[in-house]
Amino acid sequence: MVLKKTDHRFSLFFCLVLLSGCAGLPAAYTAATSGTYKVRSGDTLYSIAFRYGLDYKSLARINGIQPPFTIYTNQVIKLRGSARLPEKDGGPVSKPTATASKKVPSPVKTPNKPVSVWRWPLKGKLISRFSLENPVNKGIDIAGKKGEKVVAAADGVVVYAGGNLRGYGKLVIIKHNDNYLSAYGNNDSMLVKEGETVKAGKSIARVGKTAADVEMLHFEIRRDGKPVDPMKYLPAG
């Protein structure tokens, strides 16, 4: 998010109170109107799809990219024609669809089964909830202490671990099956690498600070590329 100098004090307060504007909506997310994206070092097909709120399977299809979804620096990826999904979220689905894979070195396959149990990635106070209206937050923000361990919310494979997505800081994305991804942003450090298989509860990162000096985790769940409310999936309490 680019802010004018004269708006600095207001913006700082806004981020402290609402937080979602800092973590939930990177500027690039709304920039798909150009119709294409040039691959940068560190990108994966999953991270590009995540950036624009697209389904990675649709993105692969319109670009003729086959599993293991290898992409290359400076490759131009077409964004138009990738399926965007409806805004309504009916909660967890019971069936995924097919097999899947990841970028670059080797195929990354995830079990073709639904996520039966989700767990909280961090124990802490919920300080910002999911919202698709102003202020937008495509996930939830959980208070924590800098350096505190963040854990995987469900079994899966790490399909992105990097800092290329503006507004998310150091970000880990885990693919759970063909339908679901989870994302963990605003980390101080990452404890896993792309291609690594993780179990629910495994430490994957450490909590960091926002630009507004708030120690917190930004957590998202995406279903077929669309942000959904994590509170519909996480256990009560």
Encoding tokens for residue 142? 């959980």
How far is the C-alpha of 47 from the C-alpha of 155, rounded, in Å?
19
Q: Which residue has the higher pLDDT, 57 or 83?
A: 57
Say what the pLDDT of residue 112 is: 58
Domain that holds residue 208: 5-232
Say what the pLDDT of residue 171 is: 98
Confidence bin at 204 (pLDDT 50/70/90): very high
pLDDT beyond 90 at 1: no
- Judged by DSSP in three states, 57 sits in helix
Angstrom distances, CA of residue 230 to CA of 5, 20, 50, 89: 34, 14, 16, 11
Say what the pLDDT of residue 115 is: 86
Q: What is the mean pLDDT of residues 110-138?
A: 88
Q: What is the mean pLDDT of residues 194-198?
A: 98
Angstrom distances, CA of residue 184 to CA of 22, 172, 230: 14, 5, 12
* Residue 42, domain member (yes or no): yes
The CATH number linked to 97 is 2.70.70.10
Encoding tokens for residue 124? 């802490």
Say what the pLDDT of residue 81 is: 73
Query: What is the DSSP secondary-structure string of 89-158?
Result: -----S---S----STTS-----SS-------SS-S-EEE--BSSSSPBSSEEEE--TTPEEE-SSSEEE
Encoding tokens for residue 110? 């995830």
Say what the pLDDT of residue 23 is: 42
pLDDT tens-digit profile of 125-179? Answer: 999 999 998 789 999 999 999 999 999 999 999 999 999 999 999 999 999 999 9
* Residue 237, domain member (yes or no): no
Do 212 and 197 contact (CB within 8 A), yes or no?
A: no
Query: What is the number of domains present in the chain?
Result: 1
* Residue 44, domain member (yes or no): yes
Say what the pLDDT of residue 98 is: 29
* Residue 159, domain member (yes or no): yes
What mean pLDDT is reported for the chain? 81
pLDDT beyond 50 at 186: yes
pLDDT tens-digit profile of 12-55? Answer: 443 443 344 444 434 434 445 579 999 999 999 999 999 999 99
